[in-house]
Structure 1
Amino acid sequence: MQADAQFWSYWSIATGLINWAIIFGALIYIPFRRSPTAAQAWMILIFFLPIMGLVLYLILGHTEHPHWRRDRLARLPAILRRAMGELSLDETSGCEDLAPRHAMSSALVQRLGGQPCLSGNHVELDAEYDSVVDRIVADIDAAQHHAHLMFYILMLDEAGERVLSALERAAARGVTCRLLIDAVGSSAHRRRIARRLKDSGVALRIILPLRIWHRGTRADLRNHRKIVVVDGLVGWVGSQNMHRSEYEPSVFYREVMARVVGPVVLELQAVFIGDWYLETEEDIGSPDLMPFSGPGDHAGSMRAQVLPTGPDYPGAQVDILFTDLIFNARERVVLATPYFIPNEPLLQALRTAVSKGVDVTLYVTYTTNSLLVDHAQRSYYDELLAAGVRVMLYRERFLHAKHLSIDDDIAVIGSANMDRRSFELNSEVTLLVYDRVLVQQLRRIEGDYALKSHRLDMGEWQARGFLPQLAENVTRLISPLL
């Protein structure tokens, strides 16, 4: 009995020393190269659960890829320069007469992602889920040279089957077909997809397959992009993965995708070429993937550019763009996102915009598919409402669309949510269009959201119970880690 008591006494001292060593070590190491809010969240977690917090930090605490991946990333800029070099731009891109504030945003995007503003495009928004699938299938069926597709989630359901069948048909008639799908997002069906496409002529690559030892990968650093490029002439970008609208039982997704024709399609092409290289070390860039010769090839009159962001593009974070656009808004800002866990600069931009008299509306889905995210997201409603932001809870479906409109002349459509995962961990792609006609299309979609949303009232919100507020406050502390 005495020996047992002595053992547990030593064990208690040892574990106490280990816990405090972890806490002090974290205090020295964690604040470096992290935002204060992220560092604070990690420190809170490690203070209360030192060993578990340390394990989670070692697995998830870095936003960098492993060394083998970073070696490929070091070669990526040269691959992208060669790919974009096929797009023979003149001294100007046709965007030289942008309004001054648009020119500043365009310059920011080019500095962040390396893609210039290009004129001569036609962009059309499609918010009908099944229509998007139909039209992507039709575009693949019309392909003559190549079809490049990249999705975070691709499922073998009605939607996924139709797209895979279209790719198989295209490959059978001699079209080069390449498909990228994320290992985690498409984990449910990726092995079945690989078996199906094995002898089809469609080249399939899995993005960052999970490995521990040889060429180990991180489970949380994902490629969240949704891109389709057909013959270098037609492109799709936006929020919609390739699965049926009822992705989860009785949960129907609502999305917005942009169909693009014109030179800016080649910027989507360059992103795909870069991602293909990162997975295969194969440089597929060639003139026949870049059929437009530059701004003189007019498919329309819209000016647009693409911003790729994520760990593969160091220093390029999509929240920098969101924050800049909101700060520079003059009349109106409308945001739509399924996950809203902002960092402090974005939150401050929203407060500042309202203080300047800008009408700010945020559309979020009434209930997300994550309990933790639900509570963390709701923890921001108090200060948003107090600042004067109109918070609209969309009820009809799960609002998975991700877009932003500024005043009446800037539309932003892409794959990025407004949370840390999209800001720092995921590879995302965003399309900016400087055009009033496209913003009018987006306004009609936003107007439909309004009819199907409940506007949150401060009095109603403050009347919620103590337990929901407690859950919100607790999850708020770790929200930078979600």
Structure 2
Amino acid sequence: IAIGRPRFPKWRRQRFAGNPRSGQADAALVAAATGFPANIDWGRRPVAQLVTNLGGMKAVGGNDLQLLYEYDDTVESLCRDIGDARDHVHLLVYIFADDEVGTQVVEALGRAAGRGVSCRVMIDALGSRPWRSRVIAAMQARGIDAREVLPVRPLRWRPARADLRNHRKLTIIDGQIGYIGSQNIVAANFRPGIRNQELVARATGPIVAQLQSVFLSDWYLETEQQLAGDALFPAARQGGDVPLQLPSGPDYPVSGSERLTVELIYGARERVVITTPYFIPDEGLIEAIQSAVLRGVDVRLIVSLVQDQLLVGLAQRSFYAEMLRAGVRLFLYEDRLLHAKHITVDDDLATVGSSNVDIRSFTLNAEANLVIYAPGEVRRIRAVEERYFAGSRELTPEDWAGRPFMRKIAENLARLISPLL
């Protein structure tokens, strides 16, 4: 009764089965894949096939990608694009606060709605709990169609599980610009004494149809409204030459984030860098990491020394000794809470998105991750990783073995409940 299965209620699964994606979305995705085939190296095609089977969307070429790693720059870019919107703005986010950042975005959306732009926003009911009533009221007062995602109302008909959340961070503007990454609509220092460090990708090109498809499917699951119109899926235009793919879809029965992460590590030839704020791996991921090191792959894990969740932090640290014994190089980012979530593999493959490397993201949350098959873009992410390394302290087995005995006890006790965190 307290924990249950990692599945949505029966009514929601039936709703998804009845309409996971509209015919218009399917036609747009086929047209994008046909008109802009992805030029993917032969050795990475198994990854692309796995991603296709996980989310039902093929890799597409002809995209442009901009990486945003400065918090304020991301907010300014988003508000600027909203300011240029002509038909619609779709925004899905886990945390939407009514602080200065949230107010800035709400005002940009309100001005767009005042111009006749259709603005639709979904915020996770639990992630945005402290602010959701005020935020939704403020948006609705400005003509924005704002909805709670997965409201937790146990005494009402069709309740939602409190532990199954929509953790995606997506924005689609006029079907032509898309944002995906780790950053919520909240101030970087919304937790006292902690400032977040994020990574967001701004994309243009055929990949935006895939982001739109995920948003529209989630919108249908929450509202039972089937949105349609030519402006939702305008004819795809080439933005650049970057092959991209989205493995994420709503309520799919197979855990896309976990299988993709494991496959990426098994496919590594020289180097893997995993950046995540929360690291609670399962046995399959641990074995993949150990096997990579045994193959001679340089495996590096970047996690945050700054922690915002006590139990999660303790459980996470209980895996450090195991990683160090396996030969993983472990870096503790010291300055901020490193909330960015991305993986680079060798010099030609990367993912950026909302999924942590933990059991919750693998089995309970709805996530959105972008797979990047472009050496040039991977080099840019590697440059971001170098900044992390410069701001980190590398943990050694000797240092870790010398921590206090009572801390070891607390970490191992937290590990016992790690699948529930």
Q: What TM bracket, shorter-length normalisation?
A: over 0.9
- Cα offset for 1:407? 0.5
Q: In structure 2, what is the equivalent of residue 131 of structure 1?
A: 73
Q: In structure 2, what is the equivalent of residue 302 of structure 1?
A: 242
Structure 2 regions of 5+ residues with no counterpart?
A: none
| Higher Cα Rg, which structure | 1
Among 373, 397, 401, which residue is 1:462 paired with? 401
Among 473, 477, 482, which residue is 2:412 paired with? 473
Q: In structure 2, what is the equivalent of residue 382 of structure 1?
A: 321
Q: In structure 2, what is the equivalent of residue 364 of structure 1?
A: 303
Deviations 1:233-258 (A, max 9, x none): 11100000000110101100000000
TM-score (norm 1): 0.85
Among 18, 21, 25, which residue is 1:83 paired with? 25
- Cα offset for 1:307? 1.6
Give the conservation status (yes or no) of the 8 Å contact 1:84–1:267: no
- Cα offset for 1:194? 2.0
Deviations 1:5-58 (A, max 9, x none): xxxxxxxxxxxxxxxxxxxxxxxxxxxxxxxxxxxxxxxxxxxxxxxxxxxxx1
Runs of 4 or more off by more than 3 Å in structure 1?
Answer: 90-97
Q: In structure 1, what is the equivalent of residue 341 of structure 2?
A: 402
Among 67, 77, 93, which residue is 2:10 paired with? 67
Query: C-alpha separation between the residues in 2 aligned to 1:399 and 1:199?
Result: 35
1:344 corresponds to 2:283: yes
Q: In structure 2, what is the equivalent of residue 246 of structure 1?
A: 189
Give the conservation status (yes or no) of the 8 Å contact 1:367–1:374: no
Q: What is the DSSP-based 3-state SS (H/G/I as helix, E as strand, rest coil) of the residue aligned with 2:240?
A: coil
Query: C-alpha separation between the residues in 2 aligned to 1:424 and 1:226?
Result: 18
Give 2:210's aligned amino acid.
E
Q: What is the DSSP-based 3-state SS (H/G/I as helix, E as strand, rest coil) of the residue aligned with 1:246?
A: coil
Give the conservation status (yes or no) of the 8 Å contact 1:254–1:398: yes
- Cα offset for 1:172? 0.3
Query: C-alpha separation between the residues in 1 aligned to 2:105 and 2:180?
Result: 15
Q: What is the DSSP-based 3-state SS (H/G/I as helix, E as strand, rest coil) of the residue aligned with 1:198?
A: helix
TM-score (norm 2): 0.97
Deviations 1:119-176 (A, max 9, x none): 0000111100000000000000000111101110000111111110000000000111
Q: In structure 2, what is the equivalent of residue 152 of structure 1?
A: 94
Give 2:218's aligned amino acid.
D
CA root-mean-square deviation: 1.4
The alpha-carbon distance between structure 1 residues 340 and 154, as it changes in their structure 2 partners (threshold 3 A), is same
Among 249, 252, 260, which residue is 1:313 paired with? 252
Among 116, 139, 148, which residue is 2:58 paired with? 116
Query: C-alpha separation between the residues in 2 aligned to 1:463 and 1:386?
Result: 15
Query: C-alpha separation between the residues in 1 aligned to 2:32 and 2:54?
Result: 21
- Cα offset for 1:465? 1.7
Query: C-alpha separation between the residues in 2 aligned to 1:444 and 1:195?
Result: 41
Q: In structure 2, what is the equivalent of residue 12 of structure 1?
A: none
Written as runs of structure 1 = structure 2, the 5 A alignment for 1:99-248 is: 99-212=41-154, 213-248=156-191
Q: In structure 2, what is the equivalent of residue 269 of structure 1?
A: 212
Query: C-alpha separation between the residues in 2 aligned to 1:96 and 1:234?
Result: 19
Give the conservation status (yes or no) of the 8 Å contact 2:183–2:200: yes
Give the conservation status (yes or no) of the 8 Å contact 2:300–2:328: yes
- Cα offset for 1:97? 4.2
- Cα offset for 1:67? 2.3
Deviations 1:410-454 (A, max 9, x none): 110000001111001000000001001111110111011011100
Give the conservation status (yes or no) of the 8 Å contact 1:326–1:406: yes
Give 2:189's aligned amino acid.
E
Q: Between Structure 1 and Structure 2, how many residues are aligned?
A: 420
- Cα offset for 1:230? 0.4
Give 1:230's aligned amino acid.
I
The alpha-carbon distance between structure 1 residues 115 and 419, as it changes in their structure 2 partners (threshold 3 A), is same
Q: What is the DSSP-based 3-state SS (H/G/I as helix, E as strand, rest coil) of the residue aligned with 1:364?
A: strand
- Cα offset for 1:80? 4.2
- Cα offset for 1:199? 3.2
Q: In structure 2, what is the equivalent of residue 332 of structure 1?
A: 271
Identity %: 43
Query: C-alpha separation between the residues in 1 aligned to 2:302 and 2:403?
Result: 20
- Cα offset for 1:91? 7.5
| More divergent stretch after superposition (208-217 vs 223-232) | 208-217
Q: What is the DSSP-based 3-state SS (H/G/I as helix, E as strand, rest coil) of the residue aligned with 1:211?
A: coil
- Cα offset for 1:93? 5.7
